Amino acid sequence: MSNLLDAILISTTTGRFSLPGLLAALARGEVRGYPAQRPHQRAAWHMFLVQLAALALWTGGQDELPQDEPRWRDLLLALTAGDAGPWALTGPEERPAFLQPAAPKGLTWTDVTTPDALDLLITSRNHDLKQQIARTAEAEDWVFALVSLQTSEGYGGAGNNGIARMNGGSSSRPMLGIAPARSGGGGPDPSDWWRRDVLRLFAMRRDGSEISPCTPGGPALIWCTPWPEGQQLDITRLDPWFIEVCRRVRLDVHEGRISARRTTSKAPRVDAKAFKGVTGDPWAPISTEDPPKSLTLGEGNFTYKRLSDLAFSTEWRLPPLAIPGQGDADCMLVAEALSRGNSKTDGLKSRIIPIPGSVRGLFSSPTAGTLAKDQIEEIKVFDEALRNALALVAARGEQEAVKKAHYARSTAARARFDRAADALFFPALWDRLAATTADGPAGQEAAHHRFVGDLFTAAKAELHASLPSIPCAFIHRPRAEARGKRAFHGRIRRGDKNGPFLFLYEKEAADVGQ
């Protein structure tokens, strides 16, 4: 059956390639996307290709990215000591195949008919992404599913263990990285992104800045290592770029059609529980607490608060591939993870934040952290103003009567305002960062006023849109709304710790005068 070293399996926007052919095309900058790939597979596929290429080059003593397929084929083959078997999609059960470790005898297998049924679980309720629908799947669909499952899956019940590169079985493998912006707009450019990350990994290992509990030069392609039942691999003896497998899976072919089998294991393949996901994964944010742990997205999302925390606070250490470097001009911050909880998932969470070249050098600076904190506090002012105003209206304008239930009436409006603030947050942060170096104090003040003015506009719009939906007796409504609006503006006038927001009303007065 198909061997990834030779078979033309993987489709891209510019043609189909074998695995070494794909690496050569990436090196030449020809790959712009993968039409057959599902959205949740992008992060796992990118990380897999980067780790694989880095391992092949480092092991082969190659300093530059080859642009020809034969050279990549030789480098990949050298990773498996000249044995092509570990690159085949199917093969004898007692020997390794691609991302499929050799199986000990006596296991009980369960049939899997489609690649999406083999893939990691995206949602427990089968709502976000329907399962078991890929009845006419091609070989590349199985390749993507294998990479997604074996390098990103968590705990799935007794015997279905998760990967080492996450903080516990109910966590997820996060990816936070910097990617070059695609010419003409859109998401990351796959070729430029791959080249950047491979070369960064090389530079880190050469200069000794790689931080990992692992051992450079240790076992790396884990599916090639024997897996006796109950036996685990010591993570400290693996190469930091190791590509793991967390499940026992075998692909078969009958009458030209691929299917799969899977079974359980008594223990996780890699013994890494004590490390809480701190494995040297170059895309994983690590907390600075003691002991440290990798990011667990939980049931949240990559909001402005979370990304500010990860990128600018002292509570997290940015992963090395999420730090802009000298070669990054206009780029973007890419954040992706599967939102997971205890025995449930909440779907793929993904966010891309463009970063202009003008602020790249300040991205990791204390100034960025200070301004991000200031903006969060400024948003809080308008959030409180909106909450207090709507709660007061719900309490018929009687401040002493405001209770928890009245505040609850503002929940939907506050959520909408927060989404508006989220959309404003990073463009305003870059605007203010640029002003710190280019425009002097007057420019910094103007950028501050622009952001606060945009928040004021969004909060006022939400207040006026929400007032009719707040229950209040007709006879009390004029007084309640008047007092609610007064409370709204009073809270905004007081501003935050950096001073009042009186300039907003000076601008309004000037506009009225005109």
User: What pLDDT, on the 0 to 100 scale, is given for residue 171?
Assistant: 87
pLDDT at 496 over 80: yes
CA distance 500 to 336: 38
Exposed/middle/buried for residue 247 (C-beta within 10 Å: 0-12, 13-18, 19+): buried
* 128 pLDDT above the threshold of 80: no
Encode pLDDT of 229-251 as tens digits.
Answer: 989 999 999 999 999 999 999 99
Q: What is the pLDDT of residues 168-214, one digit of tens each?
A: 888 889 999 999 988 777 789 999 999 999 999 999 999 999 999 99
**Per-residue confidence (pLDDT) for residue 98, from 0 to 100:** 98
Looking at residue 265, its pLDDT comes to: 95
* For residues 471-490, average pLDDT: 95
Q: What is the pLDDT at residue 507?
A: 63
Q: Is the pLDDT at 32 greater than 90, yes or no?
A: yes
* Concatenated DSSP letters of 79-99: HTTT--GGGBSS--TTS-BTT
Q: Which residue from 200, 231, 1 is spatially nearest to 104, judged by alpha carbons?
A: 231
Q: Distance between CA 154 and CA 135 in Å, rounded?
A: 25
Per-residue pLDDT of 400-450, as tens digits, reads 999 999 999 999 999 999 999 999 999 999 999 999 887 788 899 999 999
Q: What is the DSSP letter of 120?
A: P
Q: What percent of the chain has pLDDT over 90?
A: 81
Which helix H or strand E contains 466, and what residues bound it?
helix 440-466
Residues 4-8, mean pLDDT to the nearest whole number: 96
Least confident of 25-34, 160-169, 277-286, 502-511: 502-511
Q: Do 297 and 346 contact (CB within 8 A), yes or no?
A: no
Task: Lowest mean pLDDT of 27-31, 48-52, 275-279, 361-365, name the range.
Answer: 361-365
Instruction: Give the residue among 372, 362, 367, 465 at the shortest CA–CA distance from 424.
Output: 372
Q: Which helix (H) or strand (E) holds 506?
A: helix 503-513
> Which pLDDT score is estimated for 340?
77
Give the percent of the chain with pLDDT over 70: 94
pLDDT number for residue 168: 86
* pLDDT at 347 (0 to 100): 85
Which of residues 134 and 84 earns the better pLDDT score? 84
Q: How far apart are alpha carbons 379 and 506 in whole angstroms?
A: 20
* pLDDT value for 514: 32
pLDDT tier at 378 (50, 70, 90 boundaries)? very high
**According to the model, what pLDDT value does residue 127 have?**
42
Per-residue pLDDT, 360? 86
Kind of pairing, strands 316-317 and 110-112? unpaired
Residue 344 has a pLDDT of: 66
In this model, does residue 363 exceed pLDDT 80? yes
The listed range with the strongest mean pLDDT (165-174, 290-299, 461-470) is: 461-470
Q: What is the mean pLDDT of the chain?
A: 91
